[in-house]
């Protein structure tokens, strides 16, 4: 089998008609939500994660990611996030339940 680079790679292809693959946005949304909790001085891991992919992102477009804690309980956090283009177009939204981590597990994650 001969390999030909058709420039349609879903990450970097110049001729990819669909832009970046939105799964990358989901991964970044999750990281933003976990880091939002970490910035509060807490260690937590994702127990449940939902993402809604709304719009493709073209190669070269700048995307801003934001996350906020919606609610904190004794066991964890409910966090929401979104990704948007410079013009305000929301390209993805995320919601997660993060579970607080303590003891030896926290030491291993830190």
For the residues 3-30, what does the mean pLDDT come to? 66
Q: Please enumerate, as own/partner, the contacts of 84-89 that have beta carbons within 8 Å and a separation of 24 or more.
A: 85/55, 85/57, 85/61, 86/61, 86/62, 89/55
The answer to whether 82 touches 92, Cβ cutoff 8 Å, is yes
pLDDT, averaged across the chain: 84
The domain segmentation of the chain, as residue ranges, is: 23-109
User: Which whole-number Å values give the CA distances from 40 to 26, 37, 78, 81, in the listed order?
Assistant: 22, 5, 14, 16
Q: Report pTM.
A: 0.74
Condensed to tens digits (0 to 9), the pLDDT of residues 71-107 reads: 999 999 999 999 999 999 999 999 999 999 887 666 6
* pLDDT at res. 1: 41
CATH 3.10.129.10 given to domain 23-109: yes
Q: How far is CA 71 from the centre of its chain?
A: 19
């Amino acid at each position: 089998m001969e390999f030909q680079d058709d420039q349609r790679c879903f990450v970097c292809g110049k001729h990819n008609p669909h832009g970046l693959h939105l799964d990358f946005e989901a991964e970044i949304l999750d990281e933003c939500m976990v880091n939002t909790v970490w910035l509060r001085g807490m260690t937590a891991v994702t127990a449940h994660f939902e993402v809604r992919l709304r719009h493709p992102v073209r190669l070269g477009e700048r995307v801003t990611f934001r996350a906020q804690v919606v609610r904190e309980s004794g066991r964890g956090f409910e966090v929401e996030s979104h990704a948007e283009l410079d013009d305000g177009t929301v390209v993805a939204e995320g919601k997660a339940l993060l579970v607080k981590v303590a003891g030896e597990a926290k030491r291993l994650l830190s």
